[in-house]
Amino acid sequence: MAESGSKVVSLDEAGRMIARHKVISLAGSHSVNSPMALIRAAIRNGATGLTIIPPVTTAIATDLMIAAGCVDTFYLSYIGFETLGFAPGFRAAVEAGKLRVIEGDEPFVLLGTRAAAGGYPFIPVPAGVYDGTDLPRLNPMLKKIKDPHTGAECYAIPALHADCCILHAQECDELGNAQFWGGNNQEPDKAAAAKTVIISTERIVSLDHTRKNVDRVTLPGHKVSAVVHVPFGAHPTASPGVYGADEPHLKIYFDAVRKGETKTYLDRFVAPKTQAEYLDQVGLDNIFALQENA
């Protein structure tokens, strides 16, 4: 029986919620803990003209949205597939002039998110952090100001607010009290900086389970709008403690997009309407094998 105040919705409903928004933020690093099922659902539901505020490092989560043509503007810190190579969808979109990039970095995305989370209009950093680089020249959002107390020069990193934040949790109860295992804790600020927060989770746990494990609850649910139960919802990225990243699948994606065969990938892996149909495409034997590399 559902808890009073349950926020549980279907994957398809979550996809429609995401697609109604313009500025989307997410967490998860590289090929770890990306809310992939939510992203696929948003693409199926016609998400378009999005602005993306990614985590400081990102790979297929955001590259897939770009390759699918959903993204207009991208706040960049790092996007890449590490040993596989450059992010193919991102690279093609920029080189074709189809994607607006805000040339940021680790502090720009992190502190911009912190500012938005805390209600600060901007966060100043010492000018020496950026003066030796081309970032202030390429990114007009990095504005030079004077410290009103000391007169020292600073760059003001603006608050980066999002409409909708999407996250993948290992455990979450129906009220949105979530556990994110592994990673580096970018989720709380990302959630606080957004109007709507949607969480997909490997398991929906009871409120009793949350109460018994409160030290492991990394995000209290009061700001969470919706919870979606999606086992293997981070696939093909890793879900810490549950399964490893699917490297052969990442390569299938990487090769398809690089060869201009994005549509083949989308038809096979994004079009399936339910997570069960998606897992059929991936193959249950492949999925179970990933549990050995959690």
Contact 256, 264 (CB under 8 A): yes
Identify residues 113-152 at the interface with other proteins (CB under 8 A).
114, 125-126, 128-135, 138
Residue in 183, 220, 231, 272 binding other proteins, rule: CB under 8 A: 183
Cα 239 to Cα 150: distance, rounded to the nearest angstrom: 46
Exposure letters 95-121 (e unless 16+ CB within 10 A, then b):
eeeebeebbbbebbbbbbbbbbbeeee
Query: Which residues make Cβ contacts (< 8 Å) with residue 148, sequence separation at least 6?
Result: none
Residue in 49, 146, 185, 248 binding other proteins, rule: CB under 8 A: 185
95 vs 208 by CB, closer to other proteins: 95
Q: Is 168 helix (H, G, I), strand (E, B) or coil?
A: strand
Residue in 73, 247, 274, 289 binding other proteins, rule: CB under 8 A: 247
Identify residues 13-72 at the interface with other proteins (CB under 8 A).
29-32, 55-57
146 vs 211 by CB, closer to other proteins: 146
Minimum gap (Å) between residue 135 Cβ and other proteins? 6
| Residue 88, amino acid | P
| Site map (CB under 8 A) of other proteins, residues 72-111, x = contact | ----xxxxx-xx--xx--xx--xxxx--xx-xxxxx--xx
* Greatest pairwise CA separation for the chain in angstroms: 63
Identify residues 200-239 at the interface with other proteins (CB under 8 A).
238
Element (H, E) at 153: strand 153-158
Cα 189 to Cα 147: distance, rounded to the nearest angstrom: 25
Q: Which residues pair with 82 in a beta bridge?
A: none
Nearest to 163 by CA among 122, 198, 112: 198
CA pseudo-torsion sign 109, 110, 113, 115: negative
Contact 27, 190 (CB under 8 A): yes
Q: Any contact of residue 246 with other proteins (CB under 8 A)? A: no
Looking at 16-24, 37-45, 140-148, 177-185, which segment touches other proteins (CB under 8 A)?
177-185
**DSSP code of residue 43:** H
Q: Which residue has the tokens 């994005």?
A: 262
Minimum gap (Å) between residue 249 Cβ and other proteins? 14
Minimum gap (Å) between residue 179 Cβ and other proteins? 14
191 vs 270 by CB, closer to other proteins: 191
Minimum gap (Å) between residue 75 Cβ and other proteins? 10
- Positions in the binding site for other proteins (CB under 8 A): 29-32, 55-57, 76-80, 82-83, 86-87, 90-91, 94-97, 100-101, 103-107, 110-111, 114, 125-126, 128-135, 138, 181-186, 189, 238, 240-241, 244-245, 247, 293-294
